[in-house]
Amino acid sequence: MNSGISVMICDSTLRDGSHACGHQISGVQISRYADACEAAGVDYLEVGHGNGLGASSLQVGESLVPESQMLSLARERLRETKLSVHVIPGFATINREIVNAIQVGVDLFRIGCHCTEADTTQKHIGFVRGEGRSAWGVLMMSHMASGDVLLEESKKMQSYGAQGIVLMDSAGSYLTDDVRKKVGLLVSNLEVPVGFHAHNNLGLSVANSLAALEVGARILDGTSKGFGAGAGNAPLELLAAAMSKLNVNTRLKLYQVLDAAELASELFAGKLPHDDSVTIVSGLCGVFSGFAKPVKRIAEQYHLDPRDILAELGRRKAVGGQEDLILEVATVLRKS
C-alpha cells in the first residue's frame, strides 16, 4: 500500500450499533458519543435506526428516541464532523424523512439498496443533490452479486448523481481476495470515490478494510468497539491504529479515537458484539448480520438450532427487511 493516501472515515456507531441494542440508543448516549466523535476527527458520524431513516417499526424494532430528536441531538454537538444518515427507499420517503433530515441539517445522505436494485435509489439521490446536499450510493449485501453486476449498479448510481459508492459486506461474508477484486474493479471504472463497509462475522473486518485501501478505496466505515449488527463492524480504534502505522492520511486523532472506544465500552456495556457460532454461520451462509438477534430469539421459542434457520435463510437468499422470513423458516423447520 502506498503511504500518504488520504481516506475519509464514516463512523456508524450510532446507526449500525442500533442493531446491537435493539434500537434502544438513548439521547444521552447520542450526545456523549457525538462529542467524542467530534474530538476524534471523524469525517462523518452516521446516526439513526439500524435500517436507516423511517425504519422504526414493530416489524424491525422501534427506536427509543424519535428520529428527529436523534438527528437534532447529534447536529448540535458536531462542528467539523459532518452528520450522515442511512437511507433505504421503502423505509424512507422523500417528502417526510428526507425533507425532515434536510431541515435538521444532515450533511450526507448515504442512499442504499440491495446490491442489484440501484434503480430504486434514483429519485432519492436526485432529490438530495437537487437540495444541495451530498449523496453517496450504497450497495448492500454486495457479496451476493458479481463484480460486473456491482459495477453496472454503481454506474447507475453515479449517473443519478451519487458522489461516492460504498460496498457493504452486510453479512460479513467477504474474504480479502473478494474485497480486492470487487473494490478494485469499481475503483478502476468509476469517476467517484469508492468505499467499503465491513462486518466481522469471519473475523476479517480490519483485514478486509485494509485490502480495500490497497486497491484504491478512499472511504472506510467503522464503529467504536465494532458496535454493530451481528459480530459487529470493523473496530474504528483498530482501523485507526493500523492506518497510522501505514501512514494513511485521515483527520483522525489516534488517542481521541481510542478515548471514543473507551467511552463506547462504558455507554454500551453489555451490548457490544462478539463472535459466536451463530454470527460465524451467518457469515458463512451470507445472511444479513442484523438477523442474528431475531434468529436466536425465534430459535429458542421454537426449540430449533439457530444455525439451521440461518442455513435455510442463506439458501433463500434472504436480505435485510425480510425479517418475516425468519418466522416462516422456523415454522417450516419445526414441522419437518
In three-state secondary structure terms, 299 is helix
- Exposed/middle/buried for residue 288 (C-beta within 10 Å: 0-12, 13-18, 19+): buried
Dihedral sign of CA atoms 97, 99, 105, 108 in order: positive
On whether the CB atoms of residues 45 and 36 are closer than 8 A, the answer is no
C-alpha cell at 135: 449523496
Which amino acids are annotated catalytic? 19
Bridge-based pairing of strands 8-12 and 194-197 is: unpaired
- Nearest alpha-carbon partner for 82 in 32, 46, 131, 110: 46
Bridge-based pairing of strands 108-114 and 134-140 is: parallel
Distance CA 138, CA 141 (A): 10
Residue with cell 469525517: 43
Cα 277-223-66 angle, rounded to 5 deg: 100
On whether the CB atoms of residues 313 and 328 are closer than 8 A, the answer is no
